Structure 1
Amino acid sequence: MIRLAGAGKTYAGNGATCTALSGFSLQVARGEFVAVTGQSGSGKSTVLNLLGGLDRPSTGEVWVDGQAVHALPERDLARWRGRAVGIVFQFFQLMPSLTAVENVMLPMDLAGCWPARERRGRALALLERLDIPEQADRLPGAMSGGQQQRVAVARALANAPALLLADEPTGNLDTRNAAALLDLLDELVADGQTLVMVTHDPAVLRRAHRTVTLVDGRMVDEREVRHG
């Protein structure tokens, strides 16, 4: 499902260069849940940015579901991302002036993956699946943090993406809401969703199928997680 081969990312500015990721290789099977961890500045977010086509590798290759993401022309990246990748952010990133159902419909409107007449129904079905149908017509400011994060997950799933990326999705939630969100993500993975998550949360690391640890832009550890 995912293959990064010798991926590296170097940023240049003010006469100096900074290596965010170096020689990073990883393969992820379809339906696998991989957690990427490490200290701040270790390169975790760079991995997500490369997988989501938000940034390009300076070296190496990035393949997602058979697509050579590193080779996509700039004009095609946004369209590919809208159809193939869903992203869940720590701070939700919902549009404050749109209701929950409108936030979930937004990726469908932008990517044009679903007929216009079907979008609201699909968005409502996703909110139902995430156990927050009653929030459909509320603005984000009228919801709790846990409810907002569930809307954000529904939005990320709107176009049935092959890959779900999550950047510290439990970091802004209390313990109860974080556990509920992890239960939900477990269900999605059990249904075949491929998930790559950046996290510091030990509870998340225990639930993943595999963990990858980065230090200074390099992988220093990779291990299977034993369950039960």
Structure 2
Amino acid sequence: MINLRDIRKTYPSPAGAFVALADINLVIQRGEFVAIVGQSGSGKSTLLNLLAGIDHPSSGEIVIDGHALHALSEKSLSLWRGRSVGIVFQFFQLLPTLTAAENVMLPMDFVNRWPKNERRARALALLDRLGVAEQADKLPSALSGGQQQRVAVARALANEPAILLADEPTGNLDSRTSQSLLALLVDLVHDGQTVVMVTHEHAAMRHATRTITLVDGRIVENESACAEPAHV
């Protein structure tokens, strides 16, 4: 599903090239729930940006679901990202002037993934699946943090992405709401979704099927574990 070969990412700096990632070789199978952990500056966000096609490796190859990201043009990469990647952010990133349903419909509008007359029905179905159907016509400001994050997950799933990337998704939630969201991600994995999550929270790591630890841009641990059973 995801194959990274000899990935290296450097950035220019006044002191010379800064190595953000080095010697990254990683395979993630379809339907895995992978947690990427490490201290600040370890390369977690850089790795997530590469998987999303937001950034490019300095060298090496990234192949996701048969697509060689390192070889795609910017236009092709943008189209691939819109159709194949869903991203859940720590601070939700919902557009404040759009309702919950309209926020979920937005990715469909960007890439014409679904016929226009089917988009609202799909958005409502996703919101219902995530337990926030009654919030469909409310603005984000009227929703709790947990409700906003569930809407954000629905938006990330709008185009049936091959992978779901979560960047510290529980970082802005209380412990109870965090556990509920993690249980939701586990259920999505049980349904066949591939999830890659950046986190620093031990409670979140326990739900993953595998934990990858980065130190100074290198993988130092790659451990499989049995995820805890969880239900929403």
TM-score range, shorter chain: over 0.9
- Alignment partners' CA distance in 1, 2:193 and 2:157: 10
The equivalent residue for 2:40 is: 40
Q: Deviations over 1:65-123 (max 9, x none)?
A: 01001111011111110000000000101111110000000000001010000000000
Identity %: 64
Q: Please list the CA deviations of residues 131-165 of structure 1 after superposition, one character each: whole Å capped at 9, or x if unmatched.
A: 00111011111111000000000000000001000
Q: Name the structure 2 match of 1:29.
A: 29
1:183 CA displacement: 0.8
Q: Which residue of 2 aligns with 1:66?
A: 66
Output the CA distance in 1 between the equivalents of 2:226 and 2:87. Answer: 27
Aligned-residue offset at 1:23: 1.0
Residue in structure 1 matched with residue 172 of structure 2 by the alignment: 172
In structure 2, what is the Cα distance between the partners aligned to 1:171 and 1:127?
A: 22
SS of equivalent residue, structure 2 residue 223: strand
Instruction: Specify the SS of the correspondent of 2:188.
Output: helix
TM-score by length of 1: 0.98
Could you tell me which runs of 5 or more consecutive residues in structure 1 were left unpaired when the two chains were aligned. none
Q: Secondary structure at the match of 1:10?
A: strand
1:127 counterpart SS class: helix
AA matched with 2:112? G
Alignment of 1:1-228 (within 5 A): 1-14=1-14, 16-227=16-227
Residue type at the aligned position of 1:27: V
Identify unmatched segments of 5+ residues in structure 2. Answer: none
Residue identity matched to 1:31:
G
- Contact persistence 2:208–2:227 (CA under 8 A): no
CA distance in 2, matches of 1:167, 1:131: 21
Output the amino acid matched with 2:43: G
Shift, 1:227, TM fit: 4.8
Partners of 2:188 and 2:227 lie apart in 1 by 17
State the superposition RMSD in angstroms.
1.0
* C-alpha distance in 2 between matches for 1:227 and 1:2: 20
Residue 14 of structure 1: how far off its partner (Å): 3.5
Q: Deviations over 1:28-86 (max 9, x none)?
A: 11001110000000000111100110000001111110100111101111111000000
* TM-score in terms of structure 2 length: 0.96
Cα offset, 1:6, TM superposition: 0.8
* Distance of 1:22 and 1:4 partners within structure 2: 11
Secondary structure, counterpart of 1:16 in structure 2:
coil
Please give the secondary structure, in 1, of the residue aligned with 2:179. Answer: helix
Tell me how many residue pairs correspond in the alignment. 228
Q: Is the 8 A contact 2:208 2:226 kept in 1?
A: no
Q: Secondary structure at the match of 1:23?
A: strand
Q: Give, in angstroms, the shift of residue 186 of structure 1.
A: 0.6
1:97 is aligned with what amino acid? T
Cα separation, partners in 2 of 1:135 and 1:227, compared to 1, 3 Å:
closer
